[in-house]
């Protein structure tokens, strides 16, 4: 079916459209470790000075390590909440005789499609009213909630594939439904938990709108907000520096992506099988 000789026009066409991406991502790396003479795109000098921000910081900006710590806390607490809540709710929707199960499931699907970003104004006002504005807790609660519909949907899908026989065996042995879930079913859906965990962590790590709007103050700043404020600042205009900070920011993402690529693919496709 595959005629190799006919592939080159397709490759050339795709390659042509992909040029911006190739250029952007190659130079993202190259520009962090080299200098180019003015008016040229070809680097002529290897240097590590663009990475000095890691030890010396950037004038007028917060401590990069504090910001990184905030980002890690934000992403990992969000992930924990999403995993905990979705693995419980997903199980209830997949296996338990909850009244109105049908409607709960429809609700999850609807929320999954619902564009949560439209709610940002109301969420901003709610956080102001309850006093969680400008706190990490506030953004974590909001981000976790907005991730929940996808999380529940994915966990439900994984629970659906667990054979009933496993649970029945547990029940026959006299274990409670909770025990069965905890020690027999959860280990079965471990791949789902890993996939959802990695996805939530990356989503939290990359999030920009929520922390920027709901917690802009400098002591709860995360990396996305830090980088954006760096770019917005006209005082130090230096693409090599921006890219180095950006590279620092994206390293964990790339590592996780390389290791969990296949698991993530299912979720990036909207979490819908088929």
Partner 1 sequence: MSVSARLGILFLAPALIFVTLFFFAPVVLTGVFSFTNMSTATGITGGAYQVTSNVLRQLADEGFEKSTLDRLGAKSYVVSAQALVVATTEGVVDKAVLVELESKHLGKTYQSRRDFERFLKKLKNRPRSTRDLKKISPYFRASLMGQRFESEEVLFAMLASLDLGLPDPQMRHVARASYTGWVWGTGNFKRMFSLGDNLRVLRNTGIYVVATLLLFNTGFALVLAIATFYLPGRHSAFFRGLWLLPRITPPVLYVLLWKWLAWDTGFINTILANFDIQSRNWMLDTGANAWLFVVLINGFVGASMGMIIFASAIKAIPQTMLHASEVDGANRWQQIRHIILPQIKWPIMFITVYQTLSLLTSFEYIWLSTDGGPGTSTEVWALAAFHAALDNYWGNLQYGYGAALALVLVVIGVVMSLIYLRLFNFDALITRPRIEQ
Shortest reach from residue 220's CB to partner 1, in Å: 17
As given in the structure block, the two tokens for residue 198 are 């990695």
Shortest reach from residue 80's CB to partner 1, in Å: 12
| Terminal-to-terminal C-alpha distance of the chain | 23
Q: Which is nearer to partner 1, 66 or 101 (CB)?
A: 101
Q: Which is nearer to partner 1, 48 or 254 (CB)?
A: 254
Cα–Cα dist 202/190, whole Å: 18
User: Strand, helix or coil at 97?
Assistant: coil
φ and ψ at residue 38, rounded to 5 degrees: -55, 140
Q: DSSP letters along 112-171, please? A: HHS-GGGGHHHHHHHHHHHT-TT-HHHHHHHHHHHHHHHHHHHHHHHHHTS-HHHHHHHH
Q: Which is nearer to partner 1, 53 or 242 (CB)?
A: 242
Shortest reach from residue 71's CB to partner 1, in Å: 10
Q: CB of 232 within 8 A of CB of 216?
A: no
Shortest reach from residue 85's CB to partner 1, in Å: 5
Q: Which is nearer to partner 1, 66 or 212 (CB)?
A: 212
């Amino acid at each position: 079916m595959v005629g190799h000789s006919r592939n080159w026009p397709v490759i050339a066409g795709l390659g042509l459209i992909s040029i911006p991406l190739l250029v952007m991502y190659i130079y993202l790396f190259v520009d962090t470790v080299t200098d180019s003479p003015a008016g040229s795109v070809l680097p002529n000098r290897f240097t590590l000075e663009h990475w000095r921000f890691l030890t010396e910081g950037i004038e007028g900006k917060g401590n990069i390590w504090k910001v990184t710590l905030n980002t890690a806390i934000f992403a990992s607490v969000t992930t924990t909440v999403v995993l905990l809540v979705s693995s419980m709710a997903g199980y209830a929707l997949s296996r338990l005789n909850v009244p109105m199960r049908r409607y709960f499931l429809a609700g999850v699907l609807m929320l999954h499609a619902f564009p949560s970003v439209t709610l940002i104004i109301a969420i901003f006002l709610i956080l102001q009213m309850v006093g969680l504005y400008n706190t990490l807790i506030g953004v974590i609660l909001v981000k976790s909630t907005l991730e929940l519909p996808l999380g529940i949907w994915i966990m439900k899908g994984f629970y659906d594939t667990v054979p009933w026989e496993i649970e029945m065996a547990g029940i026959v042995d006299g274990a409670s439904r909770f025990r069965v879930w905890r020690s027999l079913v959860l280990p079965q859906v471990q791949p789902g938990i890993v996939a959802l965990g990695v996805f939530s962590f990356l989503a939290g790590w990359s999030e920009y709108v929520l922390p920027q709007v709901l917690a802009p103050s400098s002591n709860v700043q995360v990396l996305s907000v830090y980088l954006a404020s760096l770019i917005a600042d006209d005082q130090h205009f230096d693409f090599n520096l921006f890219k180095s900070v950006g590279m620092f920011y994206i390293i964990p993402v790339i590592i996780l992506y390389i290791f969990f690529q296949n698991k993530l693919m299912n979720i990036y496709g909207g979490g819908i099988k088929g």
